[in-house]
A = this chain, B = another copy of it.
């Protein structure tokens, strides 16, 4: 009789993440995992990026929320395929949820999928979801001590977006401190200064993402 070996939850999540990654690679789709605190401006940034990217790429969105669908409604209003993923209390998205929900998107007609993770600077960083790229947001009003206090989220990302950058004059935010802390834990990943409201910095970020999307499409 064969003995069934149960993986630990974290290992199992990694396995499913690899399977999702393979599915997406087969479809030449780039999946971007968007993470940050509640209110860091994830939905607004995704909205601004879609407006820049949609001329060249076919975009889809998975909107993660604990409850409700206010964000999914905002995104769907842009006319891009959007599915709502409610975690029903869970503080992060796991790869299995992505695997289950992918068939709800028209994968054969997409180049990039944005996944808006749950607003949380901790747990989402621990769970790969099959993404090609991780994008962490830190908004100016959150303060300049976040890289020190929530290290994994900044160590394990492919780029950092300083969002609500137009709010810098109104807050006591030491930008040099954030840059130094970020470079110390993640020296090779770029940093973008962005305001989704004014549009400043969105082009540079969209160019960076376009490079990744184009590579996945090959």
Chain A contact residues, CB within 8 Å of chain B:
37-39, 65-68, 70-71, 89-91, 118-123, 126, 139, 141-143, 145-146, 148-152, 164, 167, 170
Q: Give the contacting residue for A68; candidates B68, B139, B148; CB below 8 A.
A: B148
* B39 near A150: Cβ-Cβ < 8 Å: no
Chain B CB within 10 Å — which of A38, A150, A164 has the most? A38
- Residues in B with CB closer than 8 Å to A164 are 141
B37, B67, B145, B151: the one contacting A151 at CB < 8 Å is B67
CB distance from A67 to the nearest CB of B (A): 6
Q: Give me 22 A-to-B residue pairs in the complex whose CB atoms sit less than 8 angstroms apart, sorted by A's number.
A: A37-B37, A37-B39, A37-B119, A37-B142, A38-B143, A38-B150, A39-B139, A66-B150, A67-B149, A70-B145, A71-B149, A89-B122, A89-B126, A89-B152, A91-B120, A119-B121, A119-B149, A122-B123, A141-B141, A141-B142, A141-B164, A170-B170
Residue pair B122, A39 in contact (C-beta under 8 Å):
no
Chain B residues contacting A118 (CB-CB under 8 Å) are: 122
Contacts of A139 in B (CB 8 A): 39, 141
Chain B residues near A67 (CB-CB < 8 A) = 148-151
CB-CB under 8 A from A170, the residues of chain B are: 167, 170
Q: How far is the CA of A122 from the CA of B167 in the complex (A)?
A: 26
Which one of B91, B142, B149 contacts A70 once the chains associate, using CB atoms below 8 Å?
B149
Closest to A145 in B: B70
